[in-house]
Structure 1
């Protein structure tokens, strides 16, 4: 089968599509026939060597949408042919989801959202779990105010939607051209990039990784949620600083999938790219201004 790998660190030229053996599911695992897989910024970071792991072949890809192909020992609740989505966590691994087949722990899977195709569904796992956990970590009561930076991005846009659904008053920080978009996602207040909200907010979800620049917008005793482990600012004024790291969570992913199926959560795809053209996906990944997830398809 075909898989996308790197054998060294660097730019998009390091990305290769190679033939590898078909993986076999172990106990508690499921093999998925991949139909589509999101290309995330973390894939570019892995390729660039941010997470290390040099001297070995590394498989790329975290998101997957497809069908159950085979079940490992002891797996119940899933059936061959069932449409699923999932997250394969880990920056350094021999085989990622950018492949024709992938093996995941059964607990990392969720039913695919109803009413959307595999390409759209592939945009949910990593971004959705990141956004959903960020809103939970805010711990704010309905009616509280939250600032979302990078609100027009894939993760930021999902945070806006989930925060608004939780009853929070959302201020979106994004480029001036994105006001209509973020308001359509549920933002009540718009602040153009480089601006500041009027008055302090109860919390911030810093999808744009602005750090100390936006910590000052949080009221004393509020909360700052960062999306990059070890990338948050130092706490001050009683502000709680939380640096979250996403993890596979099939139950949470199933909740998010249900929201998509109900039409309560919108997924955005920028471009569908064949697996064979994975290098092109990495070239576009490095470009600014992409609105929506790039998705590789296996045909």
Structure 2
């Protein structure tokens, strides 16, 4: 089968298409015929060597949407032909989901949304689970105020929707041209990039990874949640600082799917590329201002 790999670190030019053996599912796993897979910033980080793995062939891809092709032993609740989405967790791995077939733990795989196509569904797992985990970590009661930075991005946009749905009063920080869009997601107030909210907020969900400047918007004793482990600023003024780390959580992913099917969670696709054009997808990933997930189709 064909799979997207890197054999050395660098820019999009290091992305290759390789012929590799078709993987087989072990006990507790399923094999998915990949139809679409999201290209995420973490894929660019793996390609650049942020997570190590020098001297190894590294597979790319965390998100997957497709059909189950083979079921391993001891798997219940999944059958061949099921249309599914899933999260293939792990930065340093020989094969990811940017391939014709992918093997995932059965617990990381759930029925795909019925109301969107496979391409849109492929953008849900990583971004959705990241946003949901971050909103949970805020730990704020309904009516509390939260600022979401990077609110027009993929994770930020989902975070705005989930936070508003949880009853939080959301201020969205995004580009000047994004106000109408983020308000359509449920933001009650808007701050253009480089600006500041009208006053201190109970919490910040920092998807733009602003760090200390974002922490400065939080009231004394409030909460700051970062989305990249190890990138959060030091706590001060009694502020609780949290860092979300995504996990392949099928139960939580299934809840997100149900929100998509209920029309309460909007998924966005910026561009699609065939698997063979993976280097072009990585070029697109590096383009500033991408609004929506980039998807590879296999």
Query: Is the pair's TM-score, using the shorter chain for normalization, greater than 0.5?
Result: yes
> Quick one: distance in 2 between partners of 1:159 and 1:114?
22
Q: Secondary structure at the match of 2:5?
A: strand
1:86 aligns with 2:86: yes
Q: Deviations over 1:144-171 (max 9, x none)?
A: 0000000000000000000000010000
> Quick one: distance in 2 between partners of 1:175 and 1:116?
27
Number of the residue aligned with 1:295? 295
> Quick one: distance in 2 between partners of 1:69 and 1:225?
38
Number of the residue aligned with 2:105? 105
Number of the residue aligned with 2:167? 167
**Alpha-carbon deviation of 1:18?**
1.1
1:211-250 equivalent positions in 2, closer than 5 A: 211-250=211-250
Q: Secondary structure at the match of 2:84?
A: strand
Number of the residue aligned with 1:186? 186
**Alpha-carbon deviation of 1:115?**
1.1
> Quick one: distance in 2 between partners of 1:120 and 1:269?
6
**Alpha-carbon deviation of 1:285?**
0.6
1:151-162 equivalent positions in 2, closer than 5 A: 151-162=151-162
Number of the residue aligned with 1:63? 63
Number of the residue aligned with 1:265? 265
| Number of residue equivalences | 298
1:36-47 equivalent positions in 2, closer than 5 A: 36-47=36-47
**Alpha-carbon deviation of 1:70?**
0.6
Number of the residue aligned with 2:198? 198
Give the RMSD, CA atoms, in angstroms.
0.5
> Quick one: distance in 1 between partners of 2:192 and 2:143?
23
Q: Deviations over 1:4-31 (max 9, x none)?
A: 0000000101001111100000010010
Q: Secondary structure at the match of 1:182?
A: helix
1:274 aligns with 2:291: no
> Quick one: distance in 2 between partners of 1:3 and 1:245?
26
**Alpha-carbon deviation of 1:214?**
1.1
Q: TM-score, normalised by structure 1?
A: 0.99
Q: Deviations over 1:27-82 (max 9, x none)?
A: 10010110000000000000000001000100000000001111111000001100
Number of the residue aligned with 1:145? 145
Could you tell me which runs of 5 or more consecutive residues in structure 2 were left unpaired when the two chains were aligned: none
> Quick one: distance in 1 between partners of 2:13 and 2:37?
20
> Which deviates the most, 109-118 or 147-156?
109-118
Number of the residue aligned with 1:27? 27
> Quick one: distance in 2 between partners of 1:262 and 1:7?
42
> Quick one: distance in 2 between partners of 1:9 and 1:78?
37
Number of the residue aligned with 2:9? 9
Number of the residue aligned with 1:115? 115
1:74 aligns with 2:100: no
> Quick one: distance in 2 between partners of 1:261 and 1:20?
36
> Quick one: distance in 1 between partners of 2:282 and 2:199?
40
Q: Deviations over 1:208-253 (max 9, x none)?
A: 0000101011111111000010100000111000011101000000
> Quick one: distance in 2 between partners of 1:95 and 1:67?
18
Could you tell me which runs of 5 or more consecutive residues in structure 1 were left unpaired when the two chains were aligned: none
Moved beyond 4 Å, runs of 4+? none
Q: TM-score, normalised by structure 2?
A: 0.99
Q: Secondary structure at the match of 1:283?
A: helix
